[in-house]
């Protein structure tokens, strides 16, 4: 099972995102020093403002990405398992002390309910310990699976799709598991719904 994107496919997606990269990075606040791990537990290093949306044409998408992981309730799954029936997968990167992450939480839950059985949201917490992540899930009534990306595997898989330290960010994978769209910054339900609809129409 592959756990990353093959290196020879990365240049194409990088070119696709080049036009939106500057806008995404311009919105980052206080991310010049220190990596994700160093900023854990702080309110620095998040993307403020409206989400910057980019879609990737089918001909320019990378190979499917895959990762095995365990969600907060202890169940083990993988991106390959989720998409085995052609399900669209949505990955959201977040952490509990991030104001835009809290703002978009109800929007994400609305989408999760709307597309139940058609698209699967996965929350990837990039900074917190389990207790903080679980408290967020309970406070915002998050119904979709959440995993702790403490070792940065999910972030690494998406490193050619997203700017560094871009939280919150959301990536839509097509039915084959290839990145089809991204939103850097908080996403609204209507925007994410449109991206999912576009991915579903391709099949």
What's 38's DSSP letter?
Answer: G
Q: How many CA atoms lie within 13 A of 15 on its CB side?
A: 9
Domain annotation covers residue 2: no
Domain annotation covers residue 49: yes
Residue 171, H or E segment: strand 169-173
Residue 173, H or E segment: strand 169-173
Residue whose tokens read 């310990």: 129
Q: Are 60 and 9 contacting, i.e. CB atoms less than 8 angstroms apart?
A: no
Question: pLDDT in tens for each of the 203 residues of the chain?
Answer: 433 333 333 333 444 444 344 333 333 333 332 332 333 333 446 666 567 999 999 999 999 999 999 999 999 999 999 999 999 999 999 999 999 999 999 999 999 999 999 999 999 999 999 999 999 999 999 999 999 999 999 999 999 899 888 899 999 999 999 999 999 999 999 999 999 999 999 97
Domain annotation covers residue 11: yes
Which residues span the domain enclosing 46?
7-29+40-201
Domain annotation covers residue 35: no
How would you write 43-89 as a 3-class SS string? CCCCECCECEEEECCHHHCCCCCCCEEEECCCCEEEHHHHCCCCCEE
* Cis peptide, bond prior to residue 168, ω within 30 of zero: yes
What CATH number is attached to the domain comprising 97? 3.40.30.10
Domain annotation covers residue 164: yes
Q: Could you give the number of structural domains in the chain?
A: 1
Domain annotation covers residue 195: yes
């Amino acid at each position: 099972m592959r756990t990353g994107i093959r290196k020879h496919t990365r240049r194409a997606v990088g070119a696709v995102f080049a036009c939106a990269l500057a806008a995404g990075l311009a919105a980052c606040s206080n991310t010049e020093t220190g990596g994700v791990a160093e900023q854990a537990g702080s309110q620095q290093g998040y993307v403020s403002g409206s989400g910057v949306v980019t879609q990737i044409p089918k001909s320019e998408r990378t190979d499917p990405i895959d990762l095995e992981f365990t969600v907060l309730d202890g169940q083990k799954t993988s991106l390959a398992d989720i998409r085995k029936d052609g399900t669209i997968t949505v990955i959201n990167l977040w952490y509990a002390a991030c104001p835009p992450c809290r703002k978009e939480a109800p929007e994400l839950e609305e989408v999760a309910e709307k597309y139940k059985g058609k698209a699967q949201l996965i929350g990837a917490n990039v900074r917190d310990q389990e207790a903080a992540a679980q408290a967020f899930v309970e406070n915002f009534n998050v119904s979709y699976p959440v995993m702790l990306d403490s070792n940065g595997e999910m972030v690494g898989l998406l490193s050619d799709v997203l700017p560094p330290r871009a939280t919150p960010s959301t990536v839509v994978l097509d039915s084959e598991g290839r990145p089809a769209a991204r939103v850097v910054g908080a996403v609204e339900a209507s925007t994410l719904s449109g991206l999912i609809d576009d991915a579903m129409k391709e099949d």
